[in-house]
A and B are shown apart, each in its own frame.
Chain A
């Protein structure tokens, strides 16, 4: 427990783990990019166009414009979560990649931190690919858009470290079904992507406040619409604190799992 409170010993070598993940990904990046684009575009088509007949405007904008910023950020969530769930689990158990690295000068904490950074990168890439598509279709117009990459990076780190905590406890791939169906999917549907939270009963928006995706969605929407205010700093601070906590916990628990 004592060890849990000492700061993780993460140095520049974590970057080497990130490089390893990048190089391995580079071999297969084409199929994985197609998956990254297909899913959010399908959601936009299905919900945006499909429902636009019935929902004419939400918060003063067409429904598809309303959901677009949330769809972008949820794609960062999905990509980062998948990477640090299935990807990290494979590296940790089946491939024993972690075992090979920790007998070099790179330590366990750096392996975990490198994997979080890589998961974040996957999330970042995923959102950055969709963003221009949305701009092209005129769904996002505000110049505040230029700050989006920072948001994607932060959201990537946040969801990557959450998933890595699950990996630290996962006995098998099946275990992730709990995480995705009990945590990731509810966030996707109840974090204000598809309907404005302030029109919901108070307890819903209160519950939503505890979901990391809610804060990412509200920042993303503000940057997309240009409706930027100081309340966003609260969301950003929430995400920063939460990310610091989850990455700390993830690194410590991966360490505990790997030490034999």
Chain B
């Protein structure tokens, strides 16, 4: 049984009466990367904020490193690295100074801080920018610096709230690679993301949240298998609507969903489904592997949030 780093049970959070997280349970084991997915307003950031000790818990229990989150702020946070959803770098000072000043909050001696800052700037490819002030950095550089800053205390647990939102593919891949290296070195990662590819790529296990509740939990592969079978056929629907199509498809086992003018068929037997498509003269179709995004949309629906 691997050591449990975070354990939440019946974790509940209200903002002056409004429930943002409604009694969720989850556990994160040492050394794994655990993801939180969910539409805008699902309660991901609220959950991260509770784990970080930024927001007090309304009810339920939450332990981090086996310590009570309500009581042990200093001891927990000394071992924690945090990348919040919104950057909060210090704009008055340089890149390097941002790391050195942050190190002080953890009682890291100056000489150690200097060494660590230099190697973290290198790790995040920011060495050239070390004397630049923050407003002069690009969005990607700021995010990389946020990650570097979160690592200054060599945390055992790193919480990343949408670490790559708004970044270009190069920066995103760079951060993924670094997070992968951190995981290999035995750190525990918790991250939230809106990029399914990111979650599939990095997370050993994940939960999908919506409306303050956890809808499902598992490895990316198991979730795909469980909810959307192996592959997806997307069919452009004829004007007559889905009735005729569904009649044509009778006899094969499939799950389906209609969204706008597209019919999504989740099936392991795509060949038969495509064969039958001829019967109603589909005006266009696409056959592809099922992804986590299909699971996500299936569970949380296709309507726009907030």
Q: Do A and B come from one complex?
A: yes
Residue A102 CB within 8 A of the other chain = yes
Instruction: Give Cα A24 to B56, complex, Å.
Output: 30
Asked if residues B15 and A105 are in contact (CB atoms below 8 Å), the reply is no
Residue B228 CB within 8 A of the other chain = no
Residue A27 CB within 8 A of the other chain = yes
Residue A225 CB within 8 A of the other chain = no
Measured between C-beta atoms, what is the minimum distance from A86 to chain B in Å? 14
Asked if residues B84 and A99 are in contact (CB atoms below 8 Å), the reply is yes
Asked if residues A19 and B104 are in contact (CB atoms below 8 Å), the reply is yes
Asked if residues B106 and A104 are in contact (CB atoms below 8 Å), the reply is yes
Asked if residues A95 and B54 are in contact (CB atoms below 8 Å), the reply is no
Is the interface on chain B under 10, 10 to 19, 20 to 34, or 35 or more residues?
A: 20 to 34
Q: A20-B104, A102-B54 are in contact. Are A260 and B90 (CB under 8 A)?
A: no
Q: Mark B69-83 against chain A: 1 for CB-CB distance below 8 A, else 0.
A: 000011101101010
Residue A57 CB within 8 A of the other chain = no
Instruction: Give which listed residue, B49, B77, B91, B92, contacts A104 with CB less than 8 A.
Output: B77
Which chain A residues border B93 with CB–CB below 8 Å?
23-24, 27
Residue B185 CB within 8 A of the other chain = no
Asked if residues B55 and A105 are in contact (CB atoms below 8 Å), the reply is no
Residue A106 CB within 8 A of the other chain = yes
Q: Mark B86-118 against chain A: 1 for CB-CB distance below 8 A, else 0.
A: 101111110001000110111100000000000
Which chain B residues border A104 with CB–CB below 8 Å?
77-78, 102, 105-106, 153
Which residues in window 1-35 of A have CB below 8 A to B? 13, 16, 19-20, 23-24, 27-28
Residue A97 CB within 8 A of the other chain = yes
Which chain A residues border B86 with CB–CB below 8 Å?
96
Asked if residues A259 and B105 are in contact (CB atoms below 8 Å), the reply is no
Asked if residues A20 and B101 are in contact (CB atoms below 8 Å), the reply is yes
Q: Which residue of the partner chain A has the closest CB to B56?
A: A259
Asked if residues A24 and B92 are in contact (CB atoms below 8 Å), the reply is yes
Which chain B residues border A28 with CB–CB below 8 Å?
92
Asked if residues B49 and A106 are in contact (CB atoms below 8 Å), the reply is no
Measured between C-beta atoms, what is the minimum distance from B145 to chain A in Å? 12
Asked if residues A99 and B88 are in contact (CB atoms below 8 Å), the reply is yes
Residue A182 CB within 8 A of the other chain = no
Measured between C-beta atoms, what is the minimum distance from B303 to chain A in Å? 28
Q: Which 7 A-B pairs have the closest CB atoms?
A: A96-B88, A104-B105, A24-B92, A100-B88, A105-B74, A103-B82, A103-B52
